[in-house]
Structure 1
Amino acid sequence: MPHQKFQSTTIKPRYAKGALSTFGANSVYPRIPWVAAWWSLTFPGFGHVYLGRYLPGFILIIWELVVNTQANLNMGIALSMLGKFEEAKAVLNEEWILLYMGAYIFSIWDSYRSSVEIGKSHILSEVEDAPVGPSIVSAFDIIIVDKKKPWLAAIWSTLSPGLGQLYSGHTITGTFILAWWIFVTYKANTIGSWFYSSIGNFPIATAMVDWQWFLFLPSMYAFAIYQAYAAVNENNILYDIEQLRYLRVRDENLAQQEPNTLENDTLQIIATFEHSPFVEMAIHDIESIGVPPKNIVALPLENLEAETNIIDSLHRVDGRSVLDGAMVSGTIFMLLGTIYGFVWYWGPVIWGLLGLVGGFFLGLIIEIAFHKKRIKLFASRKSEVFMQITCNSSMKEHLIKVLKERKANGYLVIPQRITPDT
């Protein structure tokens, strides 16, 4: 959330906070460098997609699929972890392995470096209070920065990777992940294996899976869930930032006008709102019933302290979530469950899913243990926009009706304690 107040309505910022296009939304949002490096470690390109650098991310993902497959690297890793070292040596293609290493290391290093640089750019964009367009309409799509539910994006990606990204407004990313998931699951014979696992025929389920392609899936699946969740959180913050700037610009413009001369028969009403389109709709409605714009003060409340939250919500997304560590652990154990599932009774599909769930909760417990003094389960719901309306007493009922219709959290009619001189 921005810490600098808006300085000028004519400012031309050099650093952007975010942008919208036909292909979706993107933002310069500070990410944790080690998290970006970790996702690149699990699958080259993931760290760049996590940062919003989609083009280099897609290039590295395609490179990983091609070179890893030619090198039989996944097969070699799986056989090594099962203790079959001679078989692992036999299946590996050494020439492709040598080609693989340079780009793999670059992916990890560049995602870490990019995260650091994006963090710097974010700070500078806050200093300049850079504007963000709230919507864009084209012949192909309507893109709106609006408030969505992060957990719903995670659920959609759990059902099929890519759907959560489409829900979050990242059209190109969602399309790419969805197509890439379909392709890899087809090459790995995953659907058939899932079917036979679900009816308890585990030997056939294990035998029909292509190890080389199947081992791409754990990282892909966990990342799609995590990235969809994070993308919605970041878009929600982008919406808050855009509305913060709008309210400050509006107040600055109104402050330059001559103040109204108030009549004796006036009252003041104070209301609070969450950041949402209802704030601007309420301002418009109040103006339409005859309250001068200068008599409507609407400004954001400043956050005193960011909190560490397990689950960020639609209503509060400026705290830090501990789901990073949980998803890292979930990815590791899903990969291990998949590999050892090839020799265990329930097969790679069931053990992979059990590894994801078990690893997620193990990582969550570790995070909670490290942050137990500063952690909350859910991000708290707080009022974020303060609105003060000064008007004639006869408008009181109309104003209260508008505030209720536009989802104000609450309102207060200021008591008139001073009677005017007669």
Structure 2
Amino acid sequence: MPHRKIQSANLKPRYSKGKISVFGINSVYPRTPWIAAWWSAAFPGFGHMFIGKYLHGFVLIFWELVVNSQSNLNTGIALSFLGRFEEAKAQIDQDWGLLYVAVYVYSIWDSYRCAVEIKKSHVLAEAEDAPVPPSDVSFFDVVILDKKIPWAGAVWSMLTPGLGQLYSGSTIVGTFVLAWWIFICYKAEAVRVYLYSLQGNFAGAAAIVDWQWFLFLPSMYAFAVYHAYTSVNENNTLFDIEQIRYLRMRAANLGQQHTHENNAVQIVATFEHSPFVEMAIHDLEKLGVPSRQIVALPMENLDSHTHIVDSIHRVDGRSILDGAMMGGTIFAVLGVIYGFVWHWGPVIWGLLGLGGGFLLGLLIELAVNKKKLKLFPTRKSEVMVEVTCDASQQKQLIQVLKSRKANGFVIMPR
């Protein structure tokens, strides 16, 4: 994200950074192409949803559910992993199976290609300094770009896929994810299988589970959790980008700071990117401090650590949970497949596979990553606010800074 005005920003922007509407929040975020391709391989449509091309994703997901179920492909895959190859060949419908191949390959290729193109568009949008409206109000909804907690989105999707997307502000996506999760669970008898598994009735669970539909669930569940987490991260980043632009434009419009000649005090405070920055500026102006004497500028981030977990305080796009979620997805699918015939059933083995694969993927990421790692990011100063006011306003000014969550402040010596 640029911290200075680029010459091309004088032109009318042609490339958008993001869009906020009643339908949700989307942004031109530089996602990693091979991760998009991997999610498309796990489930066609997921790669496109990951990069923000939701319409393409919805179409491909619908295609996957129809063609895969008609061809009995999931059942054939499960039987093949169990070594029952003749049964697998007998289960698969060749006519529908042949329709599957081309679109499956296309979804992988196109998600990778689109991720590359979106990264290019992101660079151009940054160069043009395209504005992003921070809110959208309509008759149906009030959508506000705000900082949220990434893990809160992940936890809500762990409880019920789709809730994390609703938390992140994506109404249409959350509704779609929630709807197809309910539909697949109904077709797979998943709720009853889950209850039987918790009660220890593993034979009953194995007797009623639908292999074909149940095998959709591991990839869907893992992606819903991962997508909710990354969506909140990307929205937080979009908030930072929008606020940086606002503060930079405000400083440019106000021009040079004007100071009092007599009995003046100067206070410098630091904030994180949040709505509190702009609220503090407005509060200071209400106290009578002239706008020209309130300088607010974004600070460069010099943190070079790679964080395992992003948070509301730090979203740097360099956390290493991608591999962990991929490992969790793979082993969850394998756990479900072998759980169809093992004693504890597909639910228990699927959850064990999800947890074990997540830890294995995380360990591999930790071993491969060469940079110094930190488990959790810490609070960082991202905005500097410098205020020059009359000494009589000092106590009120400090109270405003405290109430608006300033990280700290210093009174400059005269």
Give the alignment's TM-score, normalised by structure 2: 0.98
Residue of structure 2 in register with 1:142 after alignment: 142
**Post-superposition CA distance 1:285-330 (Å, at most 9, x none):** 1111111100110000012355321100001102401000000000
Give yes or no for the alignment of 1:85 onto 2:85: yes
* CA deviation after TM superposition for structure 1 residue 70, in Å: 0.7
Give yes or no for the alignment of 1:377 onto 2:385: no
Are the aligned partners of 2:259 and 2:293 in contact in 1 as well (CA < 8 Å)?
A: no
Structure 1's 372 and 10: CA in aligned 2 closer, same or farther, altered over 3 A? closer
- Structure 2 Cα separation of the partners of residues 374 and 3 of structure 1: 26
* CA deviation after TM superposition for structure 1 residue 276, in Å: 0.7
- Structure 2 Cα separation of the partners of residues 3 and 398 of structure 1: 30
Classify the secondary structure of the residue corresponding to 2:244.
Answer: helix
Which has the higher mean CA deviation after the structures are superposed, 370-379 or 56-65? 370-379
Residue of structure 2 in register with 1:278 after alignment: 276
**Post-superposition CA distance 1:265-292 (Å, at most 9, x none):** 1110000001111100111111111111
Classify the secondary structure of the residue corresponding to 2:200.
Answer: coil
Which has the higher mean CA deviation after the structures are superposed, 220-229 or 377-386? 377-386
Give yes or no for the alignment of 1:348 onto 2:346: yes
Structure 1's 72 and 267: CA in aligned 2 closer, same or farther, altered over 3 A? same
- Structure 1 Cα separation of the partners of residues 203 and 183 of structure 2: 24
AA of the residue aligned to 2:121: S
- Structure 1 Cα separation of the partners of residues 408 and 24 of structure 2: 34
Within-5 A mapping of 1:382-401:
382-401=380-399
- Structure 1 Cα separation of the partners of residues 75 and 95 of structure 2: 16
* CA deviation after TM superposition for structure 1 residue 133, in Å: 0.4
Aligned pair partner of 1:324 in 312, 322, 325? 322
Residue of structure 2 in register with 1:359 after alignment: 357
- Structure 2 Cα separation of the partners of residues 270 and 4 of structure 1: 21
* CA deviation after TM superposition for structure 1 residue 262, in Å: 2.5
Residue of structure 1 in register with 2:16 after alignment: 16
Residue of structure 2 in register with 1:267 after alignment: 265
Which has the higher mean CA deviation after the structures are superposed, 364-373 or 393-402? 364-373
AA of the residue aligned to 1:307: H
4+ residue runs over 6 A deviation: none
Within-5 A mapping of 1:231-242:
231-242=231-242
- Structure 2 gaps, min length 5: none
* CA deviation after TM superposition for structure 1 residue 372, in Å: 5.2
Structure 1's 397 and 318: CA in aligned 2 closer, same or farther, altered over 3 A? same
Structure 1's 261 and 286: CA in aligned 2 closer, same or farther, altered over 3 A? closer
Classify the secondary structure of the residue corresponding to 1:148.
Answer: coil
* CA deviation after TM superposition for structure 1 residue 5, in Å: 3.2
- Structure 1 Cα separation of the partners of residues 92 and 3 of structure 2: 53
Residue of structure 2 in register with 1:129 after alignment: 129
- Structure 2 Cα separation of the partners of residues 334 and 2 of structure 1: 40
- Structure 2 Cα separation of the partners of residues 73 and 214 of structure 1: 12
Give the alignment's TM-score, normalised by structure 1: 0.96
Give yes or no for the alignment of 1:156 onto 2:156: yes
Within-5 A mapping of 1:186-225:
186-225=186-225
RMSD value, Cα = 1.3
* CA deviation after TM superposition for structure 1 residue 12, in Å: 1.6
Are the aligned partners of 1:9 and 1:249 in contact in 2 as well (CA < 8 Å)?
A: no
Classify the secondary structure of the residue corresponding to 1:311.
Answer: coil
* CA deviation after TM superposition for structure 1 residue 8, in Å: 8.3
- Structure 1 gaps, min length 5: 417-422
Structure 1's 243 and 7: CA in aligned 2 closer, same or farther, altered over 3 A? farther
Classify the secondary structure of the residue corresponding to 1:271.
Answer: strand
**Post-superposition CA distance 1:70-128 (Å, at most 9, x none):** 11000000000000000000011111111100100000000000000000111111111
- Structure 2 Cα separation of the partners of residues 238 and 7 of structure 1: 22
- Structure 2 Cα separation of the partners of residues 261 and 4 of structure 1: 24
AA of the residue aligned to 2:319: S
- Structure 1 Cα separation of the partners of residues 77 and 303 of structure 2: 45
Q: How many residues align?
A: 414
- Structure 1 Cα separation of the partners of residues 238 and 349 of structure 2: 38
Residue of structure 1 in register with 2:94 after alignment: 94
Residue of structure 1 in register with 2:406 after alignment: 408
Are the aligned partners of 1:3 and 1:126 in contact in 2 as well (CA < 8 Å)?
A: no
* CA deviation after TM superposition for structure 1 residue 11, in Å: 4.1
Question: Aligned residues: percent identity?
Answer: 67
Residue of structure 2 in register with 1:54 after alignment: 54
Classify the secondary structure of the residue corresponding to 2:375.
Answer: strand
Classify the secondary structure of the residue corresponding to 2:139.
Answer: coil
Residue of structure 2 in register with 1:420 after alignment: none
